[in-house]
Amino acid sequence: MKLRQVYLSGYKSIDKAGQTIPLGDITVLLGANGSGKSNLISFFKMLNFMTEGTLKQYVGREGVTRLLYYGPKKTESIFFSLDFGTEDVRSRYEIALSYGLPDRLFIGSEKIICHGDGNGQQEYVLDGREGESGLKTDPRPVCEVLYNLLSGIRFYQFHDTSDTAKIKDRGYVDDARYLRSDGGNLAAFLKMLKEHGQFYRYYDRIIRHIRRIMPQFGDFDLTPVPGNRDYIRLNWRDSSGSDYLFDPGQISDGSLRFMALSALLLQPPDLMPAFIVLDEPELGLHPLAIRELAGLVRSASQKTQVLLATQSSSLINEFTAEDLVVLERDEERQCSLFKKLDCEILRGWLDRYSLSDLWEKNVIGGQP
């Protein structure tokens, strides 16, 4: 079961005419600052909150004015539809979020339309409660399938590697059910993989990939904190064989982010999120690490879907034109435009130039 495309209108920089965003196993969002990449990523965050029945919490935190295209005076509702399914069965989830006083969004309509499987077209209207989606509580099998898919969307951004970042601090040793969005429980997650017999080979694979980028790295030392076995820290030892213990503050920011990305993208398939969203994962990475990151994304895409937003020329060269969705700001309409590349038209260009060359020459768009 996969997400095939998103249609979205009235949300942030996407106007009421709406935009269709195709989704593949790998979807690379490419565009200039202010083109709308972050807005699409925030939509997936909202979708996750809505699925869990906490839409009001998300709206309260973000603010209605910031969610509606140019505010409620210009846009009164957000509408989106998600096409999902297998090769044989396709379905669509549609929902309208309408503006109401005092400054809130309520669900005006919510339904699922199913096609295929020999049953023709079937439509299911969902009945939410207290301004929240009815998806989680609806007992019908199609709702359960869609809920499992949408609740499996996970957003990750490992940018915070400051001295006070959670990834460098001690954390609760049992906080290992899944890797958190900021990598704050990376030590506990790795300890679980290392000590779980069925998962150890994935831990070993993570270590081998880290060594390819950081040759001096030996292994993590995931022993609980002395005097308090409920807590753990991301300590490590180098490859020299010394018993000297390094702490996470003795890793470069780029290396620390690559460790978190490796754990995310090489984790066991049984633990893998259904849909991974990555915001500029190349930040602070060496060009060799960027190439390695692309390989990790391709590997993960065999088990899940990956959407990543980037401005890295090096990173887009590791993917194909079929993977790219280009974003531009339409100054006449004052909105974001999403464009899937025509690979047939680009074929002649790609015989002579790389994707980054075509981006920098503004052949494929996505420039300011």
Residue pLDDT, tens place only, 7-16: 999 999 999 9
Cβ atoms < 10 Å from Cβ of 322: 12
Mean pLDDT of 221-231: 93
State the average pLDDT for the chain.
Answer: 93
SS3 193: helix
Of 244, 301, 243, the residue nearest 274 (C-alpha): 301
DSSP state of 297: H
Classify residue 120: in a domain, yes or no. yes
> 227 exposed, middle or buried (CB, 10 Å; 0-12, 13-18, 19+)?
exposed
Classify residue 324: in a domain, yes or no. yes
The pLDDT assigned to 116 comes to: 65
Total structural domains in the chain? 1
Mean pLDDT of 334-347: 93
Cβ-Cβ contacts under 8 Å for 156 (sequence gap 6 or more):
179, 181, 182, 183, 260, 264, 276, 277, 278, 279, 281
Report whether pLDDT(317) > 90: yes
- Per-residue pLDDT band for 230 (boundaries 50, 70, 90) equals very high
Report whether pLDDT(310) > 90: yes
Classify residue 89: in a domain, yes or no. yes
Classify residue 204: in a domain, yes or no. no
The pLDDT assigned to 186 comes to: 98
DSSP state of 11: B
Of 128, 145, 156, the residue nearest 53 (C-alpha): 128
Are 108 and 173 in contact by the 8 Å Cβ rule? The answer is no
Joined together, the tokens standing for residue 290 give: 């960027």
pLDDT tens digits for range 284-308: 999 999 999 999 999 999 999 999 9
pLDDT tens digits for range 98-129: 998 888 898 989 999 987 666 678 899 998 77
Classify residue 126: in a domain, yes or no. yes
User: Is the peptide bond preceding residue 102 cis, with omega within 30 degrees of 0?
Assistant: yes
Q: Tokens 């396709």 belong to which residue?
A: 90
Residue 84's CATH number = 3.40.50.300
Classify residue 49: in a domain, yes or no. yes
Mean pLDDT of 46-58: 90
- Which residues constitute the domain of residue 359? 1-156+320-367
Sheet of 2-9, strands arranged across: 19-22, 2-9, 77-85, 89-100, 104-116, 122-125
Mean pLDDT of 67-78: 95
More confident: 145 or 266: 266
Are 205 and 300 in contact by the 8 Å Cβ rule? The answer is no
Classify residue 5: in a domain, yes or no. yes
Mean pLDDT of 43-65: 91
Classify residue 220: in a domain, yes or no. no
pLDDT tens digits for range 326-335: 999 999 999 9
Report whether pLDDT(224) > 90: yes
